[in-house]
Structure 1
Amino acid sequence: MASANGCEYIGFHSLGPLLDRSGRVSDLRLERVLIRVNAASGGHGVPAPDRASPPTARVLTILDFLSRYPHDRFGLSELARRVDLSKPTCLGILTTLTDAGYLLRDTDSKTYRLGPALISLGHIAQESLRVSPAARDELRRLSEQFEATAALSAVVDDRITLLELVAPPGAPVGVRVGQSYPFAPPVGLMFVLWDDAAVRHWLQKEPTIPLRTDGDRLDRVIAECRRAGYLVERMTPGGRRLYALMAGMSNTLPDELRALLGELVSDIGERVYLRDEADADRRHDVSVIAAPVYDHHRRQVMVATMQIGAALTDDEISRRAQALIQTADAVTRLLGGVKAARS
């Protein structure tokens, strides 16, 4: 809940049942994790500078709350209660945002929801991050070809952020544009493995969860992914839970949560599929395939991904990976970038 000065609040993340590393439901359940963050920091756990504005933080709290429930509408009383603001303060903010078009007010039900002004603002933000309509067209072609979700993401302000996403009609997506994750081991390998300096810098970050690092295997993962031009992440119970739990969380997690997540994934690169390790006669559970997008300095600036969530043969993996590389290369050209040579 918010403190009296509006600078801090307590957030609850519902985690549900936990899986052990074999994929079985653990006896341990963690229904809620209590996380204290600075409201003025946008919920990322970064201490607010002295010049932070509590009134602005209250506006952001309302917008962030409504963005988590895009299909719902809230009246003044409920919204004020849910974001822990007084009704007069909440009403003033809602009125100003509605007048500016950032919210819509239903005159019959006297409820509020996100407004059209945010659409243009979001499009401008996307373009400022170099995601153009043409890039979305490339993702759409890939999505239609394989009936899969295709996306672009990048590291923005030291967080992995989803910039664009195209999914088949009616497909359950589970993520949304703008969603972000902490950029620290074990999350983020696909954003750095194409450059030695980037790999070293990433590995020097404090891990989000307790890790073991098999240096020999990591070196092999990096070498083979660079040679192939793509990375394939296997679908494991731990991997699925890891991303679900970490979505939107701060870069600094409570010790209890770090320990629990460490039971899910404990080694960098352990979920990466390597063809020379695979049994060619069987199907492999694949979560995602990723390929790099480059700028004009031949530096990786984004990752193009295809969500799989199914068991594929080696040849099926290869066909999808090659199509994904073509999409990533097309986005590179749209950015005026130059593809780095494969190692």
Structure 2
Amino acid sequence: MIELLSARSTAAPTLAEISRELGITRSTGHAILQTLVNHRWVARDPLTGRFTIGPDFPTATSRSASTPRPLRDAVRALSLDIQVPVCISEIQAGAIVVIDAAAPGSTPPPLPAGIRLPFAAPFGREFVAWDTPETSERWLSAPGPVSDAFVDRVTHVLSEIRHRGYGVERLSGPLIRVFDALIALDDGKAPDAVSTRLAGAVADLTLVDVLPDEFADTDGTIPVATVSAPIRDLDGNVVMSVSAQPYRELNHAEIADLGKQMTAFGDNATGLIAHKSATT
């Protein structure tokens, strides 16, 4: 929903148009929009009933004051180089928080600074893949009871992420709807049980990540929302992640190329994290 409103350069959409384009019911669309309006992330024109991005929505220039300038500059350079929006995220109080984002053009990135998601399976895989079994278990159990199929899938995915160095978030209608609902529920505090359970619903509605043999089951491309790699501190701990945001169909080679770019950036960003530590 936020992406739809951000991308509109002509007439702002109505509730009916938004609901139809996103494939959701009017009642669901109304509930989400009302919450976004209450947070001033979305504005409604009382005369036309059309919706636009609101005055308090985090912009591409919104960022954490703790993000070091060299890292911000590097994110912008990377986005321009690959011509894809890029963001940096970290874990804060049980949430994955986008602390900085950049896009190569005038359109805001799909995931701007300020966006928060629950740190619960399946979100945040690039943080968990290299962590302890205890952390992985807490992360897996955060959404509540999950099926054996979910556990098996995520276990295989985490192993694949460790092998190739990056995670892939598939782009789908269910993902966008869950994502919009999570934004609507976010109150700036630690995610509650409703939010974490909703995050886990993604695994019931779509495939988590991409495994090597799955391109054989498609026409050669897969819709991709993000390609994410870890950023480590000098001790080797994953403290942030860097994500490309293509939000389009990609073939295997394109995904692998973005993954290579993200892992290289993550490796090089360790020095920028050290710069942050030295100045705090």
Question: TM-score scaled to structure 2, two decimals?
Answer: 0.70
Distance 2:226 2:106 in 1: 19
> Which residue is 2:46 aligned to?
none
Distance 2:112 2:162 in 1: 29
Quick one: which of 212, 220, 233 aligns to 1:282?
A: 220
Distance 1:166 1:301, change over 3 A: same
Quick one: which of 192, 200, 203 aligns to 1:252?
A: 192
Which structure is richer in relative contact order (CA contacts within 8 A, separation 6 or more)? 2
Distance 1:282 1:175 in 2: 26
Quick one: which of 137, 143, 161 aligns to 1:225?
A: 161
Q: Quick check: 1:150–1:306 contact (8 Å CA) kept in 2?
A: yes
Question: What secondary structure, in the 3-state scheme, does the structure 1 residue paired with 2:254 have?
Answer: helix
1:281 CA drift (Å): 6.1
> Which residue is 2:6 aligned to?
none
* Corresponding position: 1:212 with 2:147: yes
AA of the residue aligned to 1:252: D
Question: What secondary structure, in the 3-state scheme, does the structure 1 residue paired with 2:202 have?
Answer: coil
Alignment of 1:84-163 (within 5 A): 125-127=64-66, 131-163=67-99
Cα deviation code 1:279-318 (max 9, x no counterpart): 2861121111000011122111111000011111111111
Distance 1:161 1:229, change over 3 A: same
AA of the residue aligned to 2:82: F
More strand by share: 1
Aligned CA RMSD, in angstroms, stands at: 3.8
Q: Quick check: 1:185–1:202 contact (8 Å CA) kept in 2?
A: yes
> Which residue is 1:302 aligned to?
240
Distance 2:206 2:173 in 1: 15
AA of the residue aligned to 1:199: S
1:166 CA drift (Å): 0.8
Distance 1:25 1:144 in 2: 32
Distance 1:147 1:267 in 2: 32
AA of the residue aligned to 2:81: Q
> Which residue is 2:4 aligned to?
none
Distance 1:319 1:199, change over 3 A: same
> Which residue is 1:201 aligned to?
138
Distance 2:193 2:252 in 1: 37
Quick one: which of 125, 147, 154 aligns to 1:189?
A: 125
Question: What secondary structure, in the 3-state scheme, does the structure 1 residue paired with 2:65 have?
Answer: helix
Q: Quick check: 1:211–1:266 contact (8 Å CA) kept in 2?
A: no
Distance 1:224 1:327, change over 3 A: same
Cα deviation code 1:177-232 (max 9, x no counterpart): 2221222233333321222332122123244xx74352322221111110000011
* Corresponding position: 1:313 with 2:251: yes
1:26 CA drift (Å): 5.5
Question: What secondary structure, in the 3-state scheme, does the structure 2 residue paired with 1:161 have?
Answer: strand
Question: What secondary structure, in the 3-state scheme, does the structure 2 residue paired with 1:32 have?
Answer: helix
Question: What secondary structure, in the 3-state scheme, does the structure 2 residue paired with 1:308 have?
Answer: coil
Q: Quick check: 1:234–1:285 contact (8 Å CA) kept in 2?
A: yes
Distance 1:303 1:35, change over 3 A: same
> Which residue is 2:209 aligned to?
272
More helix by share: 2
AA of the residue aligned to 1:156: Q
Q: Quick check: 1:191–1:302 contact (8 Å CA) kept in 2?
A: yes
> Which residue is 2:3 aligned to?
none
1:132 CA drift (Å): 1.1
* Corresponding position: 1:25 with 2:23: yes
- Which is worse superposed, 189-198 or 232-241? 189-198
Q: Quick check: 1:233–1:289 contact (8 Å CA) kept in 2?
A: yes
Q: Which runs of 5+ in 1 are unaligned?
A: 1-13, 37-63, 72-112, 115-121, 338-343
Larger radius of gyration: 1
Distance 1:126 1:26, change over 3 A: closer
Q: Quick check: 2:102–2:109 contact (8 Å CA) kept in 1?
A: no
Q: Quick check: 2:229–2:241 contact (8 Å CA) kept in 1?
A: yes
Identity level (%): 24
Q: Quick check: 1:212–1:266 contact (8 Å CA) kept in 2?
A: no
Distance 1:141 1:262, change over 3 A: closer
Question: TM-score scaled to structure 1, two decimals?
Answer: 0.58
Question: What secondary structure, in the 3-state scheme, does the structure 2 residue paired with 1:136 have?
Answer: helix
Q: Which runs of 5+ in 2 are unaligned?
A: 1-14, 44-54, 57-61, 276-280
AA of the residue aligned to 1:187: F
